[in-house]
Each structure stands twice: as C-alpha cells, then as structure tokens.
Amino acid sequence: MTAAFHVLTTGYADERVAGTVTLLLDGETVAIVDPGMVADRRLILDPLAQHGLNPEDVTDVIFSHHHPDHTLNAALFPRPRFHDHMAIYQNDSWEDRDADGYRLSPSITLMTTPGHTAEDVSTLVTADEGLVVLTHLWWTAEGPADDPFAPDREQLRAAREKVLALGPALIVPGHGAPFVPSASTPV
C-alpha cells in the first residue's frame, strides 16, 4: 500500500518567499503539508481542484513548523485535524501527543526532526517512488548548508543525517522542488 504525493505549489526564498505546499493521498486520508505563504491562494486551491478535491475534502493539515510561510493559509481548510510537533488540533479540541512516529495513515508517518526550528516535524510518505520525506531541514536541493534560522547547527546536522539514513528516494524541501538526495546534499 502506498500513498500519492503531489506538489501543489513549489516554494522559493529570495526577494519574496513562498513555501512548498504538498498534497498527500492515502485511502481516506487527504493531507496538505505546509499551507503557508504563496503569491495567490489560487496557487493552492486550483491544483487541489485539478485533483478533484475541494478544501472541505482535506482531512489533515501538517505543519513542519510554525513559521507563517508554512502556516498562513491553514484556514483555507475548514474541517481537518491540524498536526504539529506536540499535538493534534481540531475545532476546539487539543490532543497532546508526540509527533515522533505518529501514523496518520498506513503510508504517512510523522518524525520529529529539530533543525530549522527546535519543533520541526518531517512527514514520511511511502509512495510509488519510494520513501518521500517532506521536510524543512533543507530549503532547496542546495541547502543552504548553514540554515540562517537554525538555533543549533549540530542539531540540524544530526536531523539531516537521520533523514538521509532512511534512504529517501525524494526529499521535498521547504522552499523548492523535490530532489533526489546525493553525496552533494548538504549535511
């Protein structure tokens, strides 16, 4: 059993900033990862509609961390459970839980990976392509090698090594297109 993943919009971080927003489909689970800043909300909603989905169909929203460029458009989705490093939120319900190892569906699991922030979560997806890791440990395929926001460089390095040790087929970074990790991937 595998999940499907689709990048709805590819992020960037230069004079302007937008996060990479991803759709995950696994059985009844319809998840959006990092619905943050984009130039226009249609850059999230139009590709979602192209997959035959409405915002009301989304069952789960996952935040890699709580910077606005990854959370700003969460309210586009009226019904999901929202996931971060420490809890699940829905309507007026707050359920404490550690994200590490939390399984949203048979093919989607969360893993704590502090690095860009102390509260980072990576999303592990078993897909036809192999293991796909959605994470902000890298902004793009090029890194940056030294994340200017990382509070602890050694923690970032350790989390990157933890992800790479899983042997992912693809990494979906916080502000860029999916890439195949290689020996030149910054650690």
Provide CB contacts within 8 A for 125, sequence distance 6+.
Answer: 3, 5, 24, 26, 107, 108, 131, 132, 133, 134
The pLDDT of 131-137, averaged and rounded, is 98
Q: What is the rounded distance in angstroms from the CA atom of residue 141 to the CA atom of residue 159?
A: 16
Question: What per-residue confidence (pLDDT) applies to 1?
Answer: 80
Average pLDDT across the chain, whole number = 97
Question: What per-residue confidence (pLDDT) applies to 108?
Answer: 98
The model's pLDDT over 98-130, given as tens digits with 9 standing for 90+, comes to 999 999 999 999 999 999 999 999 999 999 999
- What percent of the chain shows pLDDT beyond 90? 99
Q: What is the rounded distance in angstroms from the CA atom of residue 124 to the CA atom of residue 44?
A: 21
The pLDDT of 19-31, averaged and rounded, is 98
The pLDDT of 49-67, averaged and rounded, is 98
Q: What is the rounded distance in angstroms from the CA atom of residue 34 to the CA atom of residue 142?
A: 20
Q: What is the rounded distance in angstroms from the CA atom of residue 101 to the CA atom of residue 148?
A: 28
Beta strand pairing call for 21-26 and 29-33: antiparallel
Confidence of residue 46 (pLDDT cuts 50, 70, 90): very high
Domain layout of the chain by residue ranges: 4-85+98-172
Q: What is the rounded distance in angstroms from the CA atom of residue 21 to the CA atom of residue 36?
A: 7
- Kindly report the CATH number that applies to the domain delimited by 4-85+98-172: 3.60.15.10
Q: What is the rounded distance in angstroms from the CA atom of residue 45 to the CA atom of residue 76?
A: 9
Provide CB contacts within 8 A for 42, sequence distance 6+.
Answer: none
